[in-house]
Structure 1
């Protein structure tokens, strides 16, 4: 900035102050500016430069005061108005900043940087469409403005328009190949599209340019964990936390990784380090409960499990009643209690076992469950009425979510778990399937290899499904056993998922509508009736006609266990809490046998053990 022509003494002082200012000697520069202002209190340039000095000291609030004094003398000075707007933006006085940028653009309509900064303010105010308009105008005038491409991508991301955002990030990187923030956001968006290898490569490039980019280190660690490179992921989180200790997600994701490594005590300690300001704080407390349950610390686990209602995930589904919550703190005799489902099908199947216990205490039990379970649950012992979620409820006195029942009934040791024989299948349906299946010539085995459809769930659920699911081609060694007849029990909602349909080079009669004609591998046929299974009572009737169910960790495994049918659970390395640790049986389901992964993501040993055991049983 050029000093305004002054008398020789003041001009010399301004020149001296500017030289000191430019060298970064702010204290000496300030002293000279103040000498000028002592002689000329309305000296525009000295006032304005004092404001700029405060900006360089990262004190925008003080800068605004000085620049305001300067603008009283020369209100149409474009640079001063622009710098005032940036200072207002820095202190988050967005409405005033927006007015200032508008004034700048009224004075100089082609001031591209002011238009760009105006877009940033609008985005901060969540006025995303107006922000997009600003960025588009900037890029029309200056197509190589990499920051505008980046911020336009961010606004589109805010609006959920990820494909368009991806294009903007690609343009930003095209314009500025070494721009770390643009590369970082490009990698983040590729991650959202499950283009994991591409995202990983770009995170690597970011870290070549800026090795201490903590957020990139942490996001790369998240991808490493998803690839079961857990020790590398843990090292990444440790480095990221060292660089940026208070950044959200890092401490939480580090604890999750410790849990995935089966270092449960360390994970509990890690969850305790998640600060209350972190959005994951409540999830960390819930995960602490899950770790304790895995370790068999049931009393601590069930008490902590009530923390689930504080998490964002569960707050969305929590139901509110005028009737009081019963957690075992009062007699039930003569009372009507509503037990209501809250999470997945498997959870409902597992915890319905508490209904007979409450009936034995003199309660009239009403059970409200997901519609697909209503018919099956009509046969639960001790239940007076079963309703589907959304149906009108009869009068009741007390209520309890199903998964709070272990706490309410003080299931504090494995010996306290109620028996599993609480489900009774409809004999007529079982007989109908018996007739339909015809004469049994060899043992019948049901198969489930995949969880829910990951295309319609959150990133966390996708990761869970990936961990618990087995690509169908990995199951092929089981199907080579011609002494067994195999039946698909895979739910239709997930039968066409990428995990489910990972068939490799296998020949298949599989159609997009389901396995309606079955699947033939190496001459062995997988029989499929899943299109005819309208609800869980139909599935239960089919299972009643099988000799064994082999399943990953899904509701079908719970269903088979609840019916007392032999079930082999193919269990992931970081087990769900209910399967405990280091055992091949389940106190929840006496008919269950558990085959556990020995390494994260590696199903080969599990499949080989099951294949061998199945072969031996078929020969007996």
Structure 2
């Protein structure tokens, strides 16, 4: 470029930068008439035409400028901008990436690339580019807002919270920053387990409600964060505050129904959720433009309401109606994980295992999926000496129940490596069908295939009438059995081992665990000696009951978890337990065991009144006739126990 032409371009650019676009365009065109190959004037004219909205004219000019001078990073950015305006997003992305290949520290390229990726809903990639832009130089507020939103939508919540907090420090009254922060905190999993984040989330939504007390979404989000934090009374109040503003506000009704369910007010929960669904159905049929219609018609929220209604209806004992609700939910969103899982549980608890196992596989897409390993998951094909890693998932009782499937994998020609929870390793070492037992945290040997433990029943298409239920498949240590026989000197009494308290972290533990006081009718049977099998939580109840229970504080301390428990079980005449790992252990050992079965029992105990359980041939189940009615259960047990004791002592 001649000095004269360079000066002309500089003069035209000055006119351009002054905002006189018409004269700037004329100046650029005059230069190009004299020097058609002037790349700078060509790309500047293209950039000006973008400003004027004449993008179709700009594109060929920018493409020509790049042909003339392919190594100018700014030219690629301008062409990317033009493509973006034309919604040619993939081509725009390619332009920005070429610009960054030339100049990796080019702010505009990172910013614009992040913006296009955001528009394409590729939020994780967008966040990478926008973060890079903010590190290059002090970034405009709107760029950092987009960065925070990209993190939020990519579910990278700690990063979103960090950026939103910095935005609020800069602009304390910025509404978008506050609502974004609130949403990021609200979306945080296990919020109730992080006191600092929970307090911050509550404070943010309370502040937003104070600013806009009539904002229904804010009221409902406050209710949601309170609910997630197990602050149920406060959540109920927030829901009702929203409903006072708008009595038919569907999201708050749905939230209130969920709160009622968490409080154990199941009939009220069912009524509220049914009302929410009815209002949602009516809004779908309505042609009105009510400001809440779009929210009420949201597939996600309608699906959630139906799924929750199904769950509560099932808890109240109406499996058939619960299935109808979940089918409707899945018509709205066939890929909703919680709904698919609930459908699976409904099938399983009804004994329809072949229909239930495929739905149960949806747990792999949920919030707490089984661990994934690098090898291919075994699908049930014949094995020719290949090593299959079976890895435990969920609770200790689940491992005790399903480890029986290792033997079936061996029968398929596989070599079984079982990765178990570390506390169970000593106990499970006695299980046939396991070639190698590895405690969690120890190095894994070579293996060819992997499978989560609780996928095995589906692989083998297990049904209630053909379960692998030969017992025992776990065995107590013989030396420990003899040692505990000496410690348990019974003087001819009928020994009953008891456990009553499950894991309090379980969602419905208060309905499946049994207060120890309810065992009193059993303790009153003559010649019965009660022996505690309870460890940890629940043992404090021993000090508050009026009957005698033989307890051993050193149980399982030296020998390892469940090892003494198993030995004691082999020294008692009967085990009676609520739904805990203890009841699984008794069944796996082949010991006589009675289950105090909740009205809202888990799927493996079935939803009907049957007393036998095909998973454990030595088990007898006593089901509550009504929720909370343990008295009837233990009166029935007392009558049966009297008969057993009479036979032994006759």
TM-score normalised over the length of structure 2: 0.64
Residue deviations 1:274-297 (CA, integer Å, cap 9, x gap): 359869713322332222222222
Question: 1:311 — aligned with what?
Answer: 366
Map residues 192-341 of structure 1 onto 2, 5 A cutoff: 192-241=228-277, 242-243=279-280, 244-245=296-297, 246-248=299-301, 249-274=304-329, 281-314=336-369, 316-321=370-375, 325-327=378-380, 329-330=381-382, 336-341=387-392
Question: 1:132 — aligned with what?
Answer: 165
Mapped to 2, the partners of 1:151 and 1:491 lie a distance apart of: 45
Mapped to 2, the partners of 1:336 and 1:151 lie a distance apart of: 48
SS at match of 1:251: helix
Mapped to 2, the partners of 1:365 and 1:146 lie a distance apart of: 57
SS at match of 2:435: strand
- Aligned CA distance change for structure 1 residues 121 and 409 (closer, same or farther; 3 Å): closer
- Aligned CA distance change for structure 1 residues 520 and 162 (closer, same or farther; 3 Å): closer
Q: Contact 1:551–1:557 at 8 Å: present in 2 too?
A: yes
SS at match of 2:613: coil
How far 1:601 sits from its partner (Å)? 4.3
Alignment of 1:574 onto 2:600: yes
Mapped to 2, the partners of 1:340 and 1:569 lie a distance apart of: 27
Question: 1:535 — aligned with what?
Answer: 561
- Aligned CA distance change for structure 1 residues 311 and 432 (closer, same or farther; 3 Å): same
How far 1:452 sits from its partner (Å)? 1.7
Q: Contact 2:161–2:181 at 8 Å: present in 1 too?
A: no
Gaps of 5+ in 1: 1-41, 43-63, 65-87, 99-113, 455-461, 502-509
- Aligned CA distance change for structure 1 residues 602 and 413 (closer, same or farther; 3 Å): closer
Mapped to 2, the partners of 1:224 and 1:181 lie a distance apart of: 20
SS at match of 1:524: coil
Alignment of 1:184 onto 2:227: no
How far 1:91 sits from its partner (Å)? 9.2
Question: 2:58 — aligned with what?
Answer: none
Question: 1:36 — aligned with what?
Answer: none
Mapped to 2, the partners of 1:262 and 1:240 lie a distance apart of: 21
Mapped to 2, the partners of 1:408 and 1:448 lie a distance apart of: 33
- Aligned CA distance change for structure 1 residues 407 and 194 (closer, same or farther; 3 Å): closer
Mapped to 2, the partners of 1:582 and 1:618 lie a distance apart of: 25
How far 1:378 sits from its partner (Å)? 1.9
Question: 1:386 — aligned with what?
Answer: 437
Question: 2:625 — aligned with what?
Answer: 598
How far 1:219 sits from its partner (Å)? 0.9
Residue deviations 1:22-79 (CA, integer Å, cap 9, x gap): xxxxxxxxxxxxxxxxxxxx9xxxxxxxxxxxxxxxxxxxxx9xxxxxxxxxxxxxxx
Mapped to 1, the partners of 2:450 and 2:435 lie a distance apart of: 15
- Aligned CA distance change for structure 1 residues 204 and 118 (closer, same or farther; 3 Å): farther
SS at match of 1:343: coil
How far 1:154 sits from its partner (Å)? 5.0
How far 1:236 sits from its partner (Å)? 2.4
Q: Contact 2:388–2:414 at 8 Å: present in 1 too?
A: yes
Q: Contact 1:489–1:530 at 8 Å: present in 2 too?
A: no
Residue deviations 1:83-137 (CA, integer Å, cap 9, x gap): xxxxx9x999999xx9xxxxxxxxxxxxxxx99x999767534443443355467
Q: Contact 1:480–1:521 at 8 Å: present in 2 too?
A: no
Size of the aligned set, in residue pairs, is 484
Question: 2:402 — aligned with what?
Answer: 351
Q: Contact 2:373–2:450 at 8 Å: present in 1 too?
A: no
Mapped to 1, the partners of 2:409 and 2:507 lie a distance apart of: 37
Mapped to 2, the partners of 1:397 and 1:118 lie a distance apart of: 48
Greater relative contact order, per chain length (Cα 8 Å cut-off, separation 6+)? 1
Map residues 31-110 of structure 1 onto 2, 5 A cutoff: none
Question: 1:521 — aligned with what?
Answer: 545
Return 427-436 or 559-568, whichever deviates more: 427-436
Residue deviations 1:414-434 (CA, integer Å, cap 9, x gap): 145432322222211211222
- Aligned CA distance change for structure 1 residues 227 and 425 (closer, same or farther; 3 Å): same
How far 1:553 sits from its partner (Å)? 1.5
Mapped to 1, the partners of 2:183 and 2:386 lie a distance apart of: 55
SS at match of 1:352: helix
Mapped to 2, the partners of 1:541 and 1:487 lie a distance apart of: 12
Q: Contact 2:348–2:356 at 8 Å: present in 1 too?
A: yes
Q: Contact 2:164–2:177 at 8 Å: present in 1 too?
A: no
User: Higher helix fraction: Structure 1 or Structure 2?
Assistant: 2
SS at match of 1:452: coil
SS at match of 2:507: helix
SS at match of 1:342: coil
Question: 1:560 — aligned with what?
Answer: 586
Q: Contact 2:499–2:582 at 8 Å: present in 1 too?
A: yes
How far 1:360 sits from its partner (Å)? 5.2
CA RMSD of aligned residues (A): 4.1
Gaps of 5+ in 2: 1-51, 53-84, 86-115, 131-139, 152-159, 192-196, 281-295
Question: 1:7 — aligned with what?
Answer: none
Alignment of 1:549 onto 2:575: yes
Q: Contact 1:519–1:525 at 8 Å: present in 2 too?
A: no
Residue deviations 1:132-188 (CA, integer Å, cap 9, x gap): 35546766xx8xx99998776556556751113324444555676665444433332
- Aligned CA distance change for structure 1 residues 179 and 474 (closer, same or farther; 3 Å): farther
Map residues 412-427 of structure 1 onto 2, 5 A cutoff: 412-427=463-478
Residue deviations 1:333-385 (CA, integer Å, cap 9, x gap): x5554443233222222222233445456654443322222222222234333
Mapped to 2, the partners of 1:198 and 1:483 lie a distance apart of: 50
How far 1:468 sits from its partner (Å)? 2.0
How far 1:220 sits from its partner (Å)? 0.8
Mapped to 2, the partners of 1:361 and 1:172 lie a distance apart of: 60
Mapped to 2, the partners of 1:585 and 1:297 lie a distance apart of: 17
SS at match of 1:429: helix
Residue deviations 1:224-265 (CA, integer Å, cap 9, x gap): 223444343233223323332423322322232233233334
